[in-house]
């Protein structure tokens, strides 16, 4: 025997499903008796095509949501049902049209009511089917879908990481899944150390994904799962600790010098990284040679090596590593030069709106020295608020209490047994607001040279004009000017320039004629006086 199911579903509408037990018979053994049985079954199952009446679309109504294990009522009716017509109603879930979950026969036109004990199977879209009660001449009709949610209060939750969260490094991906024991229509909220997670995520998704983690993602992650029915909120939460390990950053190398009791010197070299998961291993290199190594529970390490002053000790570098990450510092040419040469003090004045000096900055600088230490003196008394390697600059207010002679001393920071002093400088209100004779001389000399230059230019211009007018007659000048400007496109400007030059030339000729007349008159006067004397 073989079990067969004959079902017909069209546009999500269930027609019928029939269970047939038919013995598998070969065509050779099939007789008229078996053939008749099959034909009778087909005729029974085939729907009638000459239905006399089709029912209007029924209307399904009821609540949109209910708690699991509660009892709710759904109703179904045909608004314009013919009087006296008995209707059979059936209730289905659209996702499982093969299984009826409720039925009701309305024999006298009453409203069909389905009382349902809510299970998870009721979740989805419900459909009501209306057909004639024991009347195959009436064609069935179906209602529109009715969305219904089955609310299962959220149960206990736990966080499942998709990788080892105790050994996750910055730049890697982090995925946390909030797994619940039960619950439907649950929303999720993720917290980091009690504050909402800044990474965008889908509240309807139970998984939090962070594609590239950093140290900011370290902390306690909490998943809060909740759902709601009417005014009642059900929630549950779980937490897990995530530790994001940081790769060590590029170290910086700094040097200090210490004088030993035997008179020698040693350099204290510090390798400092700003971040990195501990422990960190630091190595000190001279060029490519490994000198010292140290593994610490801090982000820095100290190395001590003997040195000689004023001598090149090599190119130092420091590398740092943790868990396979390896970074190298910038090179440092180790040469410690002792303080020497001249010490100078430079004053920078600060002037108020009335052009009076109100404050002054004194900068002390030594000619050479790798680690200079500065001390300031007023009238040969050391100032308590001035001195140290970072006190090369001294800020003073110009008043009566600060007036006097200032100078500074420079010495080695690691050895103050000897020092070099700068020349003394007078700092007072009168001295700072008075121009020095050298400044006055420079200003007046510059002004005088400027006047001489202007006068010389004027005289040269006059002499050049007179010489030009004598060397070239008026007609030749006119011809030269005309030839010079004949290619100019602006004819009006040419005409004006030519007229101006002609007037100057005429005036020059007149001056020349008057000069010759004066010479002639002088000669005549001399001759006349000579005649009288004879």
Tens digit of pLDDT for each residue in 250-309? Answer: 999 999 999 999 999 999 999 999 999 999 999 999 999 999 999 999 999 999 999 999
Question: What is the biggest distance separating any 2 CA atoms in the chain, rounded to whole angstroms?
Answer: 189
Q: Which residue has the tokens 């010197």?
A: 265
Distances (CA, A) of 353 to 237, 357, 358, 491: 68, 9, 10, 55
Band of the pLDDT at 82, cuts 50, 70, 90? confident
- The tens digit of pLDDT for each residue in 120-149 reads 999 999 999 999 888 878 888 999 999 999
Calculate mean pLDDT across residues 176-202: 95
Q: Is the preceding peptide bond at 279 cis, omega within 30 degrees of 0?
A: yes
Percent with pLDDT over 70 in the chain? 74
Percent with pLDDT over 90 in the chain? 55
DSSP state of 206: S
Band of the pLDDT at 14, cuts 50, 70, 90? very low
Q: Where does residue 279 rank: exposed (0-12), middle (13-18), buried (19+ CB within 10 A)?
A: exposed
Q: What CATH class does 157-245 carry?
A: mainly beta
pLDDT at position 103:
94
- pLDDT reading at 19 higher than 80: no
Average pLDDT, the chain: 81
Indicate the fold that domain 261-336 takes in CATH: Immunoglobulin-like (2.60.40)
- pLDDT reading at 92 higher than 60: yes
Token pair for residue 20?
């047939």
Query: Which 3 state secondary structure label does DSSP give 41?
Result: helix
CA distance 505 to 473: 8
pLDDT at position 138:
84
For the chain, state the CA radius of gyration. 55
Indicate the fold that domain 53-151 takes in CATH: Immunoglobulin-like (2.60.40)
Domain 53-151 and domain 157-245 have a common topology: yes
Calculate mean pLDDT across residues 358-377: 92
Residues 6+ away with beta carbon under 8 Å from 315: 286, 287, 331, 332, 333, 334
Indicate the fold that domain 340-433 takes in CATH: Immunoglobulin-like (2.60.40)
Q: Where does residue 507 rank: exposed (0-12), middle (13-18), buried (19+ CB within 10 A)?
A: exposed
Contact predicate 270/302, CB 8 Å: yes
Band of the pLDDT at 488, cuts 50, 70, 90? low
Between 438 and 87, residue with greater pLDDT: 87
The domain locations on the chain are: 53-151, 157-245, 261-336, 340-433
pLDDT at position 357:
81
Calculate mean pLDDT across residues 442-468: 82
CA distance 364 to 343: 7
Task: Report the Cα 11 to chain-centroid distance in Å.
Answer: 54
């Amino acid at each position: 025997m073989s079990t067969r199911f004959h079902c017909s579903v069209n546009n999500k509408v269930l027609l019928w499903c029939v269970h047939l037990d038919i013995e598998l018979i070969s065509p050779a053994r099939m007789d008229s008796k078996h053939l008749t049985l099959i034909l009778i079954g087909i005729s029974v199952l085939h729907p009638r095509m000459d239905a006399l009446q089709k029912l209007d679309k029924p209307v399904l109504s009821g609540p949109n949501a209910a708690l699991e294990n509660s009892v709710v009522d759904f109703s179904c009716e045909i608004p314009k049902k013919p009087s006296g017509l008995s209707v059979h109603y059936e209730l289905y879930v659209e996702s499982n049209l093969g299984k009826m979950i409720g039925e009701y026969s309305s024999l006298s036109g009453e409203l069909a009511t389905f009382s349902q004990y809510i299970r998870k199977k009721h979740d989805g879209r419900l459909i009501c089917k209306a057909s004639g009660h024991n009347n195959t001449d009436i064609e069935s009709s179906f209602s529109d879908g009715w969305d219904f949610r089955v609310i299962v209060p959220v149960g206990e939750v736990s966080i499942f990481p998709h990788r080892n969260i105790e050994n996750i490094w910055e730049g890697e991906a982090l995925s946390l899944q909030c797994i619940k024991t039960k619950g439907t229509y649950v929303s999720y909220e993720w917290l980091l150390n009690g504050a909402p997670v800044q990474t965008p995520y889908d509240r309807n998704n139970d998984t939090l994904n962070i594609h590239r983690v950093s140290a900011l993602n370290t902390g306690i992650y909490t998943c809060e799962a909740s759902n709601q029915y009417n005014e009642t909120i059900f929630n549950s939460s779980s937490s897990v600790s995530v530790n994001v390990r940081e790769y060590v950053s590029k170290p910086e190398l700094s040097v200090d010098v210490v004088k030993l009791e035997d008179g020698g010197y040693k350099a204290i070299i510090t390798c400092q990284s700003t971040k990195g998961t501990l422990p960190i291993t630091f190595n000190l290199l001279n060029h490519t040679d490994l000198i010292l190594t140290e593994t610490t529970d801090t982000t820095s390490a100290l190395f001590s090596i003997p040195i000689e002053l004023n001598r090149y000790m090599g190119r130092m570098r420091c590398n740092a590593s943790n868990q396979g990450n390896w970074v190298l510092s910038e090179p440092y040419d180790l040469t410690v030069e002792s303080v020497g040469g001249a010490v100078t003090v430079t004053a920078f004045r600060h002037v108020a709106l009335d052009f009076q000096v109100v404050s002054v900055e004194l900068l002390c600088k030594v000619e050479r020295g790798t680690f200079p230490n500065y001390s300031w003196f007023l009238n040969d008394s050391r100032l308590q608020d001035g001195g140290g390697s970072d006190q090369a600059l001294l800020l003073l207010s110009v008043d009566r209490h600060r007036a006097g002679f200032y100078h500074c001393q420079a010495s080695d920071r690691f050895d103050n047994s000897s020092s070099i002093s700068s020349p003394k400088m007078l700092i007072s209100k009168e001295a700072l607001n008075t121009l020095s004779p050298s400044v006055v001389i420079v200003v007046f000399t510059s002004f005088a040279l400027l006047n001489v230059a202007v006068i010389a230019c004027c005289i040269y211009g006059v002499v050049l004009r007179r010489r030009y007018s004598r060397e070239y007659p008026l007609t030749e000048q006119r011809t030269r000017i005309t030839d010079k400007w004949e290619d100019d496109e602006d004819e009006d400007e040419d005409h004006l320039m030519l007229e101006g030059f002609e007037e100057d030339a005429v005036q020059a000729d007149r001056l020349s004629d008057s000069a010759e007349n004066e010479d002639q008159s002088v000669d005549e006067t001399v001759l006349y006086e000579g005649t009288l004397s004879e």
